[in-house]
Each structure stands twice: as C-alpha cells, then as structure tokens.
Amino acid sequence: MTQRTHHSKSPAIPEGLRKQAEETKQGLGRTVDALAAATTDVKAKAAHTTDQAKAMASQAGDILQEQTPELLRQKAGQGAEAARNNRMLLLVTAAGATALWLVLRRKEK
C-alpha cells in the first residue's frame, strides 16, 4: 500500500498566469462598479420622470377644474352621488344593456 503525501502548499502557479488572473479580477470589479452606477442612474432618471409626470397630471387637473363651469361640476357631483346611492339599480341596468347588446349582436350574424 502506497501512501500519498499531501503538500500543504498549492502547486506553483506561473507568475504570468497569476498576474493575468489578478488583472481580470480587477477588470471585473470595475465592470461591476460601472454597472451598479448605471443602474443607480437609471433608477434616479425613472424617479425624476415619474415625478414630472405626476406634476404635469396634477397641473392638468387643476387647469381642467378651473375651466370647467360650476354648473357642470355640480351636475357631475350629483351624478356620482346618485350612482353611489343606487349601485344595485346601476349594475342591473348595465347587465341588462349588455345582455340586450349580446342578443342583438348574435342575431346579426
């Protein structure tokens, strides 16, 4: 029976290969850092764009509200309140209209 002796040291790696591995490792580190920075930039730009869109929508809503006649705003409010108060009637009417539309559509074919 032969015994193998294990050396505590790893086999010698040529210096050129060691240097190339270290350069590759550093290059990968720089690439990862650059990708992380780019990702952060994209997130910041997206957040900025979202904030701009929200501001524009708010401004458009304000302009629309200012330009809408008071009588129309009151009637729209009354219509919304009537719909909230009569939800069941509204749902039944919508279901009936949809069923009628489907029947008429089927007859056309």
Q: Are 83 and 90 in contact (CB under 8 A)?
A: yes
Give average pLDDT by consecutive 10-residue segment, the chain, 109 residues. 50 81 89 85 87 93 86 88 90 94 86
Res 8: pLDDT:
47
pTM above 0.75, yes or no: no
Give the whole-angstrom CA distance, residue 49 versus residue 41.
12
Q: Collect all residues with Cβ–Cβ distance below 8 Å to 83 and sequence separation of at least 6.
A: 90
Between CA 16 and CA 32 the distance in angstroms is 24
Structure tokens that stand for 82 in this block: 């009537």
What are the C-alpha distances in Å from 37 to residues 10, 12, 43, 69? 37, 38, 10, 50
Q: How far apart are CA 6 and CA 51, in angstroms?
A: 64
What's residue 73's pLDDT? Answer: 83
